[in-house]
Structure 1
Amino acid sequence: MKYFLLLLTTLFLFTGCDEDAKTVIKDSPSFNELKEKKNEDIYNLVTTQGKKISLEYSKDILTSKDLNGKIILINFFATWCPPCKEELPVFAKLTEKYPNDFEVVSILFKDEISKSDLEVFMKKYKMNFPVTVGGDNERLAKDINNIQKIPESYLFTKDGVLIDKFIGPVNEQALENLIIKLKDQK
C-alpha cells in the first residue's frame, strides 16, 4: 500500500508540471501585462557623446546601472530658458565639489538646438555632466511629473528614492545642504 501511494504521488507530481502548465502561465494576460509594465518603466536616454544611460523609474524610485551609488539630480532644461541657464553653473560647481557622491543628468526638453550649437552652449555653461538629447527624454518628462515648464529638477538618494523636487532654478545652498546630508547615508 505504501508503494502504491508513493507511486501515485510521484506520478501526480510529474504530470502536474508539464510544458502546457508553463505555457498557460506565460501566456496569461497578467504575466504579459506585468512584463509590458516593467518595460514601460525603463527609459533609454542618449547623451551628447552618444553614451546610453538606462534609467528605471517607478513610484518615485530611480534605479540605474549607469549611475549607481551616487546622489542623482535629474534636471529638465532647455537652452532658450533663462532660469535654466542660471542654474547650470551651480550643477557644474557641485559635481566638481562632490565627484564621488553627486551626479547630474540634464535632459534637454522641448529644444530643437543643433548638435554644434549645443556643444558651444555646454562649453559656455561649463556643463561637466551628461546631457541627454535623445531616446526617451519626452516620455520620462511626462511620466516623472507631466512636466510642462522648466527648469524642473528631481533629487534622488544613493538608494534611488526621490527626496526633493525643484520647480524653477535650484538654490545652490539648499541643494548643497541636501548633498551634504545625503552623501554619508548608507
Structure 2
Amino acid sequence: MKFWLTLFVSCSILFFHGCSSDKKRKEDDKNISSSQSVIRESVTLQDVNGNAIVATPTEKGFTFSGFENKVVLLNFFTTWCPPCKAEIPHLNNLQEKYKENFVIISVLLEENKSNEELLSFIKFNAIKYTITNGSGNFALAQSVGGVKNIPLMFLYDKAGNYATHYVGAIPEEMIDADIKKVL
C-alpha cells in the first residue's frame, strides 16, 4: 500500500508540475516575465504541412503571420512528455470552443523528429491545432527567454501582447478563463 501511495504522489507531482525542477521553474518565471519586452528578430516556423508562420516580436509580445487579430496560445512541448500528452484533449476543446477568434500554435522541441512521425502523432492523438517542427522552433524558444520546462504556454491577445504564461499541466478551466479575458 505504501508503494502505491508513493507512486501516486510521485506521478501527481510530475504531471502537475511539468518536466523540470521547482528551482528552474522560479528562475524561468522571472525570465519569462522580463523577456516579453526584449526586442528580438523575427522567427519563421514551419507547420507539419509546410506552411510558414512568421513570429514577429513586438514591444509587448509577438504577432504570428496568418493569425492576425486572433488570440494565440503558444505551446512548447515534446511528444515524450506525459503532461504534454495529457493536455492534448483540453487544448483540442479550447481550439474548438474558440475557433473563430483563437488559435493554438504548438512548438515541438525535439531534434530529428520527421514530419511523418509527427503527422502520425497528430493522427493518433486527434490533434486539432497547428504544430510546428524544425530549427525555427528552437530559435523561438530562445526568443521567449529560453524554455527549460515543458509544457510551457504563452497567451497573447489579438494585438500580440503578452497576457500570461503557464508552466506544467494547467486545468482547462484556468486557460479558458484567461482566453475570455483577452477576447
Which residue in 2 is equivalent to 1:84?
84
Write the distance in 2 (CA, Å) between the matches of 1:182 and 1:59: 18
Write the distance in 2 (CA, Å) between the matches of 1:181 and 1:156: 11
TM-score (norm 1): 0.73
Which residue in 2 is equivalent to 1:46?
46
Structure 2: gaps spanning 5 or more residues: 1-37
Verify: 1:140 aligned to 2:140, yes or no: yes
Which residue in 1 is equivalent to 2:158?
158
The 3 A distance-change label for structure 1 pair 60 and 86 is farther
Verify: 1:106 aligned to 2:106, yes or no: yes
Which residue in 2 is equivalent to 1:69?
69
What SS does the corresponding residue of 1:67 show, helix, strand or coil? coil
The 3 A distance-change label for structure 1 pair 111 and 78 is farther
Task: Name which of structure 1's ranges 159-168 and 55-64 shifts more when overlaid on structure 2.
Answer: 55-64
Write the distance in 2 (CA, Å) between the matches of 1:147 and 1:81: 14
Q: Counterpart amino acid of 1:141?
A: A
Tell me by how many angstroms 1:111 deviates. 4.3
Q: Percent identity?
A: 29
Which residue in 2 is equivalent to 1:125?
125
Residues 92 and 127 in structure 1, CA contact (< 8 A), matched pair in contact too: yes
Tell me by how many angstroms 1:53 deviates. 0.4
Structure 1: gaps spanning 5 or more residues: 1-36
Write the distance in 2 (CA, Å) between the matches of 1:122 and 1:46: 15
Residues 72 and 156 in structure 2, CA contact (< 8 A), matched pair in contact too: yes
Q: Counterpart amino acid of 2:41?
A: D
Tell me by how many angstroms 1:128 deviates. 1.3
What SS does the corresponding residue of 1:66 show, helix, strand or coil? coil
The 3 A distance-change label for structure 1 pair 135 and 114 is closer
Write the distance in 1 (CA, Å) between the matches of 2:50 and 2:170: 27
Task: Name which of structure 1's ranges 115-124 and 146-155 shifts more when overlaid on structure 2.
Answer: 115-124
In the TM superposition, 1:24-43 aligns within 5 A as 40-43=40-43
Write the distance in 2 (CA, Å) between the matches of 1:125 and 1:79: 10
Write the distance in 1 (CA, Å) between the matches of 2:60 and 2:147: 15
Write the distance in 2 (CA, Å) between the matches of 1:76 and 1:159: 21
Bigger radius of gyration, 1 or 2?
1
Write the distance in 1 (CA, Å) between the matches of 2:111 and 2:84: 12
Q: Counterpart amino acid of 1:168?
A: G
Write the distance in 2 (CA, Å) between the matches of 1:60 and 1:110: 27
Residues 163 and 182 in structure 2, CA contact (< 8 A), matched pair in contact too: no
Write the distance in 2 (CA, Å) between the matches of 1:173 and 1:64: 25
Which residue in 1 is equivalent to 2:149?
149
What SS does the corresponding residue of 1:139 show, helix, strand or coil? helix
Larger RCO (CA under 8 A, 6+ residues apart): 2
Write the distance in 1 (CA, Å) between the matches of 2:60 and 2:127: 26
Which residue in 2 is equivalent to 1:16?
none
